[in-house]
Structures are given as C-alpha cells and as structure tokens.
C-alpha cells in the first residue's frame, strides 16, 4: 500500500524546496532516497501535535548551519501523520517505538535510529550524533552484500551434516511478530563479516521455536526471542544467548560456541603461530594432516569436536594445522620428521618438540595421551632422561611406548637394541617384552634371537605360532642380506661369510632355507650390479615356478630395481619381456578373484599398491629403454 504523507518540510534545506516534495508519499520518498543514496528522516507525528511551538522549534534547529548542511547532503525529510490510514500502515516500521519521534530510515524502510524531537530542538549536537550514527549504519548496509545462509533442512538432517562436517549447528530461534528477531535479520545477519563468520563455521538454521518447533524450545529451554542456540552433533547445547545484539557481539557468541565445540585452529603462517605462542606463553599443538587421510578427517570430525577436548586444547595451546603436502606444510614435515598421518606435534615456544602422537584414537585416549605428553612422562622429558643415562627397565619400557606413539622407529630401534643386550632373557617370556622382540629384533647373531629360536615352541602360547615363525624367518632373511660390502659398482660379496651363514641355517634346521639363499643371491646381484647373473636367476625361478604363479610383489620389486639402476638396453629389454607376459596373466587372475568374491558376496581386501598400474608403468619404462 502506498503511504501518503500529510505534509512535508522539516528543517531548513527541506523548507527551501518544499514545493518539490509536498505531494510525495512514503514510497516516492523511498525511491528518491534509493536513487540518490540518501537516508530518510521521518517526523512521526499527528495533526493535533502540529502546533506553532513545534514549527518554531524546528525552525530553530534548522537554523543551525551544521544541521542544515548534513540534511541537505544526506537526508530526504518528510512528515508522517500517524492518525491517517497511511500512518497506520507505517506503524510496524517503527518496531514498537512510540511517537512523536524522528525516525532515520533506509530507503527500503529499515529503521536505523529514533529519538524524541523535544530532545534535539535545543541540542543540535544530539541531532547530529543520531543522524551520523544512522548514516554510518546505512553505509554499512550499503557496503554489505552477503548474509547468513540458512539451510532449508530439518534439524535431524543438520545433525547428520554436523557429524560428517565437524561443524556445530547454529539455530536462529524466532517467533511470530518478534520485532527484535526481524531487526537481527535486517541489521545483523546481513553484515558481511557476520555472514562470512557464521557461514564458514556453522550449519545455520532459522527456526520458529515459538509456535512451530516447540519441541526444540522445550528441549533447549528457549522462552525468549530471538535466542541463538549452538548445538553439537550429539544434540548437546554448547552455548546460547538471546536478545537483539550488534554485529561484533554476535560474532563473539559464535567464537564462544566454537571454543566449546571444537579445537580452534589459528589461521596464518608458521611465523604468525610461533609469535602468538610466545606472546601468550603457550605451547603449540600442530595437526599434521593430508587431504586424502581418512583417519585425519575422522579425528577432525569426531574427536576435535568433543567439548572436553576443545576446552583442553583451546585453553592450553595455540592450535595450528597444516597440509603436509603443500605450502608451509612441506617445510614443517621435514622440520618435525613427519612420516605418517595424522601426526600431532606438541611444540614449545622455541620450536622444540615436547611430545608427538601418531594415528587416530578415541577422544578419551587422545586427551589422556596429550596430557601425559605435556608432563614429565612426555617425549621431550623422556629423551632428556635417556640422554642423561637413565636405564631403569620400567623407564625404558615406558620410553619405548612413547617413541612408538610418536612413530620414531629409528630411536625406538636404538632403545630396543639396548634392552635386548641388557635384560634377562627370561623376561621375553612375557607378552610385553616379546612384543618388542617382534617389532625390533633384526640380528640373527644376538643372544636373544638364539634363545628365542632355540626355545620357539615355548613362545607359541604368547603369540600365535605363525606370528612367531614369520618373525624368526624374517630375521634369518635379514641376516642373509648382510654380506654385501660397499655399494654400486664397488660393491663386493663376502662369499665365505655368506657360505658359512647358509651352512648355519641348514644346521639349525631352518625350514626351506634354500629359498632364503635364493632371495639373498638375487639381492646380492642387484647390490653388486651383476645384471646378467640376476636375469639368469630370475629366469630360472620363473621356469621353475611358472610365470602365472609368480608373486606380483617380487616381480614389481625386481622390475623397479632394474628400471632404477640398470642402463644396459639388453638387460632392460629382457626384463620388459617378463612384464609383457606377466601383466595379462596377473589381470586375468585379478578378474577371477573379483568374480569369485562377487559370487560369494564378499569384498576383496584393499591393497596399498595399485599393482596393475605400477606393473604397467615399469613395463612401459623398461620398454622405452
């Protein structure tokens, strides 16, 4: 409905051109204000209030040069008779404010500021304060182009999305005819920095909890509007606030909610992170991830979002996360020795590693290990104790667990080697000690290996027999590969030592020791670059075993070594011939396995290596010489 203006003219600049506006209605005033990018000043009044005293007071205010200049430049000024039909239609725009009033409005009718006329008649400064505030708000609205994006999904769907994305839910809870609710939509949700913050960090819903979704109002104790609910994927209320709120304070609500809902990671360079850690005198928690790492995403979405985890890390650390495969992540990966994902590094302000944890785990375990790692039982503290000479076995066992948790295998190997030399052999009859034997023992000449091999049947009740036997065989194989001295073209074989080792395996009754000897001979040929001997041995093995029965793992490993180390075209061409025949056989075997699995309704185990792709790659490279 077009709103008719009863009379025009307010303030000096308007009075000077009264004829131009005397017949405007409110819609026309809005159009002019929009076109000229001005705001509207409405004298909200009535006929009975329009006495001579009011007119004289307005003339006195308009006589102020600063007021006159501001109005001429920035305002379209009109009167509204609230006793008219137009006034009745205009009333909702006042948002329940009383009249008489001076209302500063946007060209679309949004209320910016409002004040009683009597307060400004003799106080031009107060008028200008309100007018400038209104203009500032208008400029902010004009400069903003984005708004909070409320998703058109159910609460249940939002919970699922929250669980998969790791983002908490923000609900703008409103009710019918709620003027502060409407103001939030018009004045706050449409501010760019508000929109950007909420759209980035939350799954946003706008829901009528007053009359429609009353079950949620009851569940979360909502009885005033607007109310802002922040809820995690477990349906727990993590933060709430209510009432009309300006933009910066409203953003602070979101920050408070995020602090309680998830670990908050800083944005910026590594230098920025370290600087903040020094300013706040806090250690750094570094999440080392990759985009393809499933466990990384699982931790981010299900563990980092637990309130107790968020509270601990947000209170005690400066938190940072970097993709280890791009940007600064590449440097940090090398700097902190990252070789598995996810890896979590705890670093002091001097960039010294205090603790390190590798892998995904439940929230309780992650929190426990993190707290322990920052104590005297953390990695850094234990490294110092070990370096100072502490060798108590209970400490050594705990240190090994800490090194394993940090995936520091070389360090763990060194510590385990010391344990193997110092501890009572009978200790390895316990599962904890024998676990380290399985993980780190590589030396067939060590006393502990000889003891375990001789008494291996006694260890079958600690670990399954196949696990024990497989480890023992691995150690025998490792020993057979120790007889090459030097490297490359200068490498030589200790033939006498190798011969004695083979004899020892035979005398010790090592099952099928001949295959260990065969593998070692192939290894020795590669290490000494004896390519003709290598081809002869592999040809013999293929003839004996049958190409279709050859292991794709061995074929790929041999082919990769020849491709990397051998430049002899005849050798490379000969090796390419193996792959030319082997690849179709391998593909046919894989097709049969897949068909059989589908027939039986089972899923084939995933391989870390795409053998079909890698076999073809090596074949192509060898063929090109």
- Write out pLDDT tens, residues 169-204: 999 999 998 989 998 998 899 999 999 999 999 999
Average pLDDT over residues 603-607: 66
For 362, the domain range is 270-375
pLDDT of residue 604: 64
Q: Are residues 180 and 71 in the same domain?
A: no
Structure tokens at 168: 């908490």
Q: Are residues 49 and 133 in the same domain?
A: yes
Q: Is 178 a catalytic residue?
A: no
Q: Is a pLDDT exceeding 70 seen at residue 21? A: no
236 belongs to a structural domain: yes
Q: Is a pLDDT exceeding 60 seen at residue 8? A: no
Average pLDDT over residues 338-358: 95
**Selected residue with higher pLDDT from 262 and 213:** 213
Q: Is a pLDDT exceeding 80 seen at residue 105? A: yes
Alpha carbons 84 and 397: distance in angstroms, whole number: 89
Q: Are residues 299 and 325 in the same domain?
A: yes
Q: Are residues 191 and 211 in the same domain?
A: yes
Q: What's the N-to-C CA distance of the chain in angstroms?
A: 84
pLDDT band at 605, cuts 50/70/90? low
Q: Are residues 87 and 39 in the same domain?
A: yes
**131 contacts 32 by C-beta, under 8 angstroms:** no
Alpha carbons 569 and 565: distance in angstroms, whole number: 12
Q: Is a pLDDT exceeding 90 seen at residue 577? A: yes
Average pLDDT over residues 371-384: 90
Domain boundary among 228, 258, 288: 258
Q: Are residues 120 and 182 in the same domain?
A: no
Average pLDDT over residues 376-391: 92
Average pLDDT over residues 534-557: 95
Average pLDDT over residues 487-504: 93
Looking up residue 325, the CATH number of its domain turns out to be: 3.40.30.10
Structure tokens at 593: 């396995």
Q: Are residues 235 and 303 in the same domain?
A: no
Domain boundary among 115, 143, 171: 143
Structure tokens at 189: 């949700």
243 belongs to a structural domain: yes
Q: Are residues 227 and 331 in the same domain?
A: no
72 belongs to a structural domain: yes
Q: Is a pLDDT exceeding 90 seen at residue 52? A: no
**102 contacts 54 by C-beta, under 8 angstroms:** no
Structure tokens at 522: 């192939």
**Residue 281, Cβ density class (10 Å: 0-12 exposed, 13-18 middle, ≥19 buried):** exposed
What are the two backbone dihedrals, phi and then psi, of residue 561, each rounded to the nearest 5 degrees?
-65, -45
pLDDT of residue 115: 93
524 belongs to a structural domain: no
Domain boundary among 316, 351, 375: 375
Q: Is a pLDDT exceeding 80 seen at residue 550? A: yes
Q: Is a pLDDT exceeding 60 seen at residue 291? A: yes
Q: Is a pLDDT exceeding 60 seen at residue 377? A: yes
Task: Please give the DSSP secondary-structure letter assigned to residue 4.
Answer: B
Strands (E), 169-283: 169-174, 203-208, 227-231, 237-242
Q: Are residues 45 and 130 in the same domain?
A: yes
Q: Is 293 a catalytic residue?
A: yes
Task: Please give the DSSP secondary-structure letter assigned to residue 503.
Answer: H
Q: Are residues 99 and 173 in the same domain?
A: no
Of the residues 181, 204, 288, 296, only one is catalytic, namely 296
Q: Is a pLDDT exceeding 80 seen at residue 68? A: yes
Q: Is a pLDDT exceeding 90 seen at residue 102? A: yes
239 forms beta bridges with 230
Average pLDDT, the chain: 91
Q: Are residues 253 and 305 in the same domain?
A: no
235 belongs to a structural domain: yes
pLDDT of residue 18: 31
Tally of domains in the chain: 4
């Amino acid at each position: 409905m077009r709103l008719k203006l009863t009379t025009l003219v307010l303030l000096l600049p308007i009075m000077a051109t009264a004829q131009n506006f005397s017949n405007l209605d409110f819609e026309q005033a809005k159009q002019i204000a929009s076109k000229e990018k001005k705001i509207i000043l409405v004298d909200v009044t009535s006929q009975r209030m329009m006495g001579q005293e009011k007119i004289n007071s307005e003339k006195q205010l308009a006589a102020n040069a600063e007021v006159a200049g501001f109005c001429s430049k920035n305002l379209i000024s009109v009167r509204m008779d609230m006793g008219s039909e137009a006034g009745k239609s205009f009333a909702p725009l006042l948002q329940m404010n009383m009249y008489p009033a001076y209302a500063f409005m946007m060209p679309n009718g949004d209320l910016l500021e409002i004040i009683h006329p009597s307060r400004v008649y003799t106080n031009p400064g107060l008028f200008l304060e309100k007018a400038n505030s209104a203009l500032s708000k208008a400029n902010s609205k004009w400069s903003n182009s984005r708004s909070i994006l409320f998703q058109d999904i159910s609460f249940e769907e939002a919970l699922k999305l929250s669980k998969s994305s790791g983002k908490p839910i923000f609900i703008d809870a409103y009710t019918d005819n709620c003027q502060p609710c409407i103001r939030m939509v018009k004045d706050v949700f449409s501010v760019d920095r508000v929109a950007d913050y909420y759209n980035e960090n939350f799954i946003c819903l706008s829901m009528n909890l007053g009359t429609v979704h009353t079950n949620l109002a009851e569940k979360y104790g909502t009885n005033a509007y607007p109310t802002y609910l922040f809820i995690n994927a477990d349906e727990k209320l993590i933060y709430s606030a209510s009432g009309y709120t300006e933009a910066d304070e409203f953003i602070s609500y979101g920050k408070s909610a995020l602090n309680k809902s998830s670990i908050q990671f800083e944005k910026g360079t590594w230098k920025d992170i370290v600087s903040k850690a020094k300013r706040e005198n806090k250690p750094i928690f570094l999440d080392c991830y990759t985009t393809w790492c499933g466990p990384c995403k699982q931790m981010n979405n299900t563990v980092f979002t637990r309130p107790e985890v968020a509270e601990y890390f947000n209170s005690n650390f400066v938190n940072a996360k970097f993709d280890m495969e791009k940007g600064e992540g590449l440097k940090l990966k090398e700097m902190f020795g990252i070789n598995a994902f996810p890896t979590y590094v705890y670093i002091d302000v001097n960039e010294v590693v205090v603790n390190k944890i590798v892998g995904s785990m439940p929230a309780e375990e992650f929190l426990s290990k993190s707290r322990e790692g920052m104590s005297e039982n953390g990695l850094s503290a234990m490294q110092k104790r070990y370096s100072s000479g502490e060798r108590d076995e209970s400490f050594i066992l705990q240190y090994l667990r800490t090194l394993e948790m940090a995936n520091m295998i070389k360090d763990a190997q060194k510590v385990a080697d010391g344990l193997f030399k110092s501890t009572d052999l009978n200790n390895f009859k316990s599962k904890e000690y024998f676990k380290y034997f399985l993980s780190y023992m590589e030396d067939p000449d060590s006393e502990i290996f000889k003891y375990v091999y001789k008494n291996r049947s006694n260890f079958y009740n600690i670990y399954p027999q196949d696990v024990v036997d497989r480890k023992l065989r691995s150690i025998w194989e490792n020993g057979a590969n120790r007889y090459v001295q030097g490297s490359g073209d200068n490498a030589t074989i200790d033939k006498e030592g190798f011969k004695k080792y083979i004899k020892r395996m035979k005398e010790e009754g090592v099952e099928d020791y001949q295959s260990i000897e065969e593998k070692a001979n192939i290894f020795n040929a590669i290490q000494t670059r004896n390519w003709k001997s290598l081809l002869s041995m592999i040809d013999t093995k293929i003839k004996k075993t049958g190409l279709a029965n050859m292991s794709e793992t061995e074929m790929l490993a041999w082919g990769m070594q020849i491709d990397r180390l051998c430049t002899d075209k005849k050798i490379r061409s000969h090796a390419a011939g193996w792959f030319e025949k082997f690849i179709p056989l391998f593909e046919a075997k894989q097709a049969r396995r897949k068909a059989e699995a589908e027939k039986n309704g089972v899923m084939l185990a995933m391989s870390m290596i795409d053998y079909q792709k890698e076999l073809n790659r090596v074949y192509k490279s060898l063929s090109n010489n």
